[in-house]
Amino acid sequence: MLYVQVLVNGLLLGGLYACIAAGFSLVWGVLNVINILHGSFVVLGAYLAFFAYTALGIHPYLFAPIAALVLFGLGYAIQYTVVNRVIEAPVLVTMTATFGLALLLDNIMLVAFKADFRKINLVPPLGVVDVGKLVPGLNVVVPVDRLASMLFALLFVALLYLLLRRTAVGRAIVAVRMDRYAATLMGVDPTVIFALTFGIGAALAGAAGALLSPIFPISPLAATSYLGKAFVTCVLGGLGSVSGVLVGGLLLGVLESFGAIFLGPEHALTLSFSVLIIFLLFRPSGLMGKRGFV
Amino acid sequence: MRRALLLGGLAVLALALAALPFMSGNYLVRLATIAFMYVVLASSWNIIGGLAGYPSFASAAFFGLGAYGSAIVRAHAALPLAWCAGALTASLFALLIGPAILRLRGHYFAVASLVLAPVLRELVNGATDLTGGGMGLTLPGSTALSVDATARLYYAVMLAAAVGTVLFTILILSSRLGWALRCIEQNEDASTVLGVNTLTAKVAAFVASAAPAGLAGAIYATWIGYIDPTDVFDDLLSVKPIVMAFLGGVGTIAGPVFGAAIFVALEELVWRNVLNFHAGILGIIIVCLLVFIPGGLGSFRHAAARVRALASKQTNGTARVRSAA
């Protein structure tokens, strides 16, 4: 029964990981940029949610769309003014440039918000659901805040899917991802699409940040940890597809959960990065295979 | 004529470097020692990142392994042995992990090399018995030497490491390996067709890049006397060498050296004036460098030459510049 509980915990985490990685994967796939800033976007979203809750009393789940909107503006501006200038450069340049931007944003947050760990304590607390009472024999508890965060996170991932699938902008993004030059000939302006895509990536990170603010402690130092989750999720599931992110995120959540039981929580990072390198070597296209375009 | 100028310049530089520790205070000696360490890191990164053109973010992993290798051996052995142990630890690691991750290219290689340092950081954090974990390791200091003499000793040792790394790069460039790496940098598939064993060459370059970086970490550990995982496996140690190489010119011999010298000056300026926000300013500097002078400072020389050509030969100069561009 312990294993069922561990599995449930992993899946709850995995939904959040999918949301964190969705924007990262989109930017990697469309712009061909490994965005080191992504983890900092998540942290910024969490801080915004924290202050919205403590100062204005806005519930983090309601605030998630607002955080997404703010981060969209920031991401759009950063891409348009800075990243766009190095977009044609080799991976070394784009990665180092976004690393520089991450240093800047992390430092701004460190100065503005201090290094103290903060956490939203929801009042009243949402409590837990004892599944054993509903389904006799199944002795599993589900924390409601984690469940809600996971469901909202999956909702954002679903919204991304619909956006890419159903809207003109989404189709243009997919077209630029498939062939930038052909898309240009069809009347799509890649510069605008790049900025939009980067904005959407940041928006998803911001939403994920707001959603995890009631669960995890918030600190500027957590940025690299979230970035690592995005790396592993992307490589596990396969790059640039929503289904890949979903599978990768849930798998990573379960993997970390079981890893914590069998190896101890201090080896979570080693485990996930080892899996990352193994996947890169033996299955670089990820579990979902094929270069999926949504 | 140019050769004579170059040799003369080098002789003056050598004299100045030899005189510095006796002419100035310990502050400048310390700054110069850091500059030499950066020369080692930038030049060693240049072997895999510049010559072979592989976007490696593994410098921090090598540096940290070198530091821990030397710190652990230092508890039982003399200084030179500890330094060798550091270089050896990093090289062995590169030899083991290289054949695996060097099969990857581009973005995938970059990510795989970037995660090495965090993994090693966690492993070192966990292996408390050997490494002291998060508490770090304190190295035995030498009581026989005065503070000034110790500063001069590490100045000399780090200078030797820097010169050695530059000579090592020249040696590689003039060898068969250098040719192979240049081929790989330009077109890896074509070099396979030409009969270059690309994987062997890349692993050799990776190991050759790891050894000096590990040595720098080893000397650093004994110099500072205390290391901990977050300090020596700092991700910034992977990024700084890249920025330095870019600043001076990637894939050249002198580029990383000049880049390191300029970077040290910039960094010290930032540290001295804005302590609270130094990482942020560093970020701004990195972004500005990459956005505004992507070819490094060397690109100004070509720009200047172009302007001169334009000024002196108004009539046919324009055509030449256009063809050159």
Chain B: residue nearest A285 by CA? B108
pLDDT of residue A203: 96
Chain B: residue nearest A268 by CA? B122
CA distance linking residue B135 with residue B73, whole number of Å: 18
**Residue B2 domain-assigned (yes or no):** no
Mean pLDDT, rounded, for A220-240: 88
Q: A130-162 b/e with 16+ CB inside 10 Å = b?
A: ebeeeeeeeebebbebbbbbbebbbebbebbbe
Mutate to test the interface with A, among B286, B288, B292, B299 (most CBs of A within 10 A): B286
Q: How far is CA A13 from CA A37, A215, A258, in A?
A: 22, 10, 12
Looking at the structure, tell me whether residues B179 and B313 fall in a common domain: no
Looking at the structure, tell me whether residues B177 and B313 fall in a common domain: no
**Residue B14 domain-assigned (yes or no):** no
Residue B237: CB atoms within 10 A of its CB come to 24
CB contact under 8 Å between B286 and A103, yes or no, is yes
> Of the candidates B123, B277, B286, which has its C-beta nearest A96's C-beta?
B286
Check whether A230 has a pLDDT greater than 70.
Answer: yes
Looking at the structure, tell me whether residues B308 and B233 fall in a common domain: no
DSSP letters along B151-167, please?
HHHHHHHHHHHHHHHHH
Would you give per-residue pLDDT tens digits along chain B (325 residues)? 678 888 888 888 888 888 888 877 888 899 999 999 999 999 999 999 999 999 999 999 999 999 999 999 988 888 899 999 999 999 999 999 999 899 888 888 999 999 999 999 988 988 888 888 878 888 877 667 788 888 889 999 999 999 999 999 999 999 999 999 999 999 999 999 988 899 999 999 999 999 999 999 999 999 998 999 999 999 999 999 999 998 888 888 999 999 999 999 999 988 888 878 888 999 999 998 888 877 777 666 666 666 667 666 554 444 444 444 3
pLDDT of residue B325: 38
pLDDT of residue B311: 67
- Could you tell me the sign of the dihedral formed by the alpha carbons of B201, B204, B208, B209, in that order? positive
A282: pLDDT confidence band, cut at 50, 70 and 90? confident
B163 at A interface, C-beta within 8 A? no
> Of the candidates B119, B235, B243, which has its C-beta nearest A270's C-beta?
B119
CB contact under 8 Å between B106 and A91, yes or no, is yes
pLDDT of residue B130: 84
**Residue B162 domain-assigned (yes or no):** yes
Q: A268-282 and B79-101 helices cross at what angle (nearest 10)? A: 50
In the block, tokens 């990857």 appear at B104
A260 at B interface, C-beta within 8 A? no
Mutate to test the interface with A, among B270, B290, B292 (most CBs of A within 10 A): B290
Contact by Cβ (8 Å): B86, B214 = yes
Looking at the structure, tell me whether residues B195 and B278 fall in a common domain: yes
Rounded to two decimals, the pTM is: 0.88
**Residue B265 domain-assigned (yes or no):** yes
CB contact under 8 Å between A28 and B118, yes or no, is no
In the block, tokens 């837990």 appear at A128
Looking at the structure, tell me whether residues B68 and B138 fall in a common domain: yes
The residue type of A59 is H
The residue type of B209 is S
A293: pLDDT confidence band, cut at 50, 70 and 90? very low
**Residue B320 domain-assigned (yes or no):** yes
pLDDT of residue B148: 83
**Residue B7 domain-assigned (yes or no):** no
Looking at the structure, tell me whether residues B183 and B304 fall in a common domain: no
pLDDT of residue B319: 43
In the block, tokens 């992977």 appear at B238
Query: Three-state DSSP class for B137?
Result: strand
Looking at the structure, tell me whether residues B164 and B237 fall in a common domain: yes
Dihedral of CA atoms A243, A254, A41, A231 in degrees, nearest 10, equals -70
Of the CA atoms within 13 Å of residue B174, those in its CB half-sphere come to: 6
A118: phi then psi, degrees, rounded to nearest 5: -120, 160
Check whether A216 has a pLDDT greater than 60.
Answer: yes
Chain A partners within 8 Å of B282 (Cβ): 100, 103
pLDDT of residue B320: 43
Looking at the structure, tell me whether residues B249 and B311 fall in a common domain: no
Chain B partners within 8 Å of A266 (Cβ): 122, 125-126
Looking at the structure, tell me whether residues B231 and B180 fall in a common domain: yes
Task: State ipTM.
Answer: 0.87
A216: phi then psi, degrees, rounded to nearest 5: -110, 150
Plot region of A117 (φ>0 → left; ψ -120 to 50 → alpha; else → beta): beta
Contacts of B219 (CB under 8 A, 6+ apart): B37, B70, B83, B86, B154, B157, B158, B161
pLDDT of residue B18: 82
B166: phi then psi, degrees, rounded to nearest 5: -65, -45
CB contact under 8 Å between B277 and A267, yes or no, is no
pLDDT of residue B314: 53
A28 at B interface, C-beta within 8 A? yes
What percent of chain A clears pLDDT 90, i.e. is strictly above it? 52
Mean pLDDT, rounded, for A181-207: 93
DSSP letters along B74-119, please?
HTTS-HHHHHHHHHHHHHHHHHHHHHHHTTS-HHHHHHHHHTHHHH
Contact by Cβ (8 Å): A163, A26 = no
In the block, tokens 């052995």 appear at B77
> Of the candidates B55, B236, B278, which has its C-beta nearest A91's C-beta?
B55
Looking at the structure, tell me whether residues B49 and B177 fall in a common domain: yes
Contacts of A187 (CB under 8 A, 6+ apart): none
CATH number of the domain encompassing residue B221: 1.10.3470
> Of the candidates A99, A269, A276, which has its C-beta nearest B122's C-beta?
A269
Report the DSSP beta bridge partners of residue A218: A118
CA distance linking residue B296 with residue B309, whole number of Å: 21
Q: B174 vs chain A: nearest CA distance in angstroms?
A: 26
> Of the candidates A82, A91, A108, which has its C-beta nearest B291's C-beta?
A82
A88 at B interface, C-beta within 8 A? no
A90 at B interface, C-beta within 8 A? yes
Higher pLDDT, A167 or B300: A167
CB contact under 8 Å between A92 and B110, yes or no, is yes
Domain count, chain B: 2
Which one-letter DSSP state was computed for residue B141? P
Q: A169 vs chain B: nearest CA distance in angstroms?
A: 26
pLDDT of residue A292: 45
What residues make up the domain containing B325?
295-325
Higher pLDDT, A140 or A41: A41
Looking at the structure, tell me whether residues B205 and B309 fall in a common domain: no
Tell which residue, B140, B147, B156, has the closest CA to residue B73: B140
Looking at the structure, tell me whether residues B124 and B230 fall in a common domain: yes
Contact by Cβ (8 Å): B241, B63 = no
Check whether A13 has a pLDDT greater than 80.
Answer: yes
pLDDT of residue B149: 85
**Residue B141 domain-assigned (yes or no):** yes
Mean pLDDT, rounded, for A215-219: 90
